[in-house]
Amino acid sequence: MTDHILIEFNNVSFHDPNSGYSLKNVSFSLRQGENLILLGPEGSGKELIVSLVTAKLFAQQGAVLFHGRNIAQFSEEEIETMRSRIGYVSYTFGLINNMNVFDNIALPLRYHTSLQEKQIKQKIEPYLEKYELSRKYNLRPQMLNESEKLRAAFIRALVAEPEILLVDHVLDAQCPLATARFIDIATEDIFNRNVSFILTAYRPQFFFSKDNRYLVFYRGRMVFSGTGAELMATNNPYVQQYLQTPLMGPMRSFYSREVADEV
């Protein structure tokens, strides 16, 4: 790991009046070679972080920095350049239904690079083989199962060689066996390419490592920050409830705007 900071949240606050979700004075950073796992119940505020990192939203207070620069001050061209350096896998996978698997994966290469079609094919084919999609490359997304959709979306995010991966709740509804196989392959690719990632999840066992850093959110506030080893050892009541006794502790079971300010 280096000391170079890729993403930094400095006392960021944001409130979405439509969903009621908020972030309140949140600060953290993602360094090169570091991985962040964001945990928290529904409505915890972590839902907003991906949108703030990718400049779909801008901090109402504080600042989100990309390589030390405030994203809110970027030009439209600079925002597009930044997004080209970030791979994103959404919980809906974001595959385009009127394109086959290959064309979906090729999109960032055609949009953000000057590679010729032959070069694009040569770049994508090893991924299709490795992620066991070689026989599915000509199918439309609606003909894939959930695991195949995930793998196609992940390849699309990785194939353009981003420096950061944003992986947003994609593992929560997957088959456990398929998830284990996917994680085994994806972890190797992430490590070999020195890609840092931010993963949002409900279950911390996905991509669990004592060396990853874990942030736990509740009602818009960060209630824990630490390594995997610290996450498992802490007496923090929010973490203990979230990991061990979901119905016993300071967290409410369901999100409600009426109690959104509670921590």
Mean pLDDT, the chain, integer: 92
- Return the exposure string of 234-246: e unless at least 16 CB atoms fall within 10 Å of the residue's CB, then b: bebebbebbbeee
- What is the greatest pairwise CA distance in the chain? 57
Reading the block at residue 245, the tokens are: 């006794």
DSSP H/E element including 85? none
For 179, phi then psi, to 5°, come to -65, -45
Confidence (pLDDT) at 203: 80
Confidence (pLDDT) at 246: 86
pLDDT at 255 over 80: no
Structural domains present in the chain: 5-85+162-259 (3.40.50.300), 94-161 (no CATH)
Which is it for strands 5-15 and 22-31: parallel, antiparallel or unpaired?
antiparallel
Instruction: Give the model confidence (pLDDT) of 161-170 as tens digits.
Output: 999 999 999 9
Instruction: Give the model confidence (pLDDT) of 116-166 as tens digits.
Output: 999 999 999 999 999 999 999 999 999 999 999 999 999 999 999 999 999
- Identify which of 87, 95, 88 has the alpha carbon closest to the alpha carbon of residue 152: 95
User: Radius of gyration over alpha carbons of the chain, in Å?
Assistant: 19
Confidence (pLDDT) at 1: 47
pLDDT at 24 over 50: yes
| Chain position carrying tokens 């109402």 | 60
Q: How far is CA 64 from the centre of its chain?
A: 16
Reading the block at residue 231, the tokens are: 């996450």
Question: For residues 16 and 70, what is the distance between their CA atoms, to the nearest angstrom?
Answer: 20
Read off the amino acid at residue 187: T
Question: For residues 148 and 159, what is the distance between their CA atoms, to the nearest angstrom?
Answer: 16
Would you say 156 and 165 are in contact if contact means Cβ atoms under 8 Å apart? no
- Identify which of 188, 166, 22, 145 has the alpha carbon closest to the alpha carbon of residue 82: 166
Instruction: Give the model confidence (pLDDT) of 71-123 as tens digits.
Output: 999 999 999 999 999 999 999 999 999 999 999 999 999 988 999 999 999 99
Read off the amino acid at residue 129: E
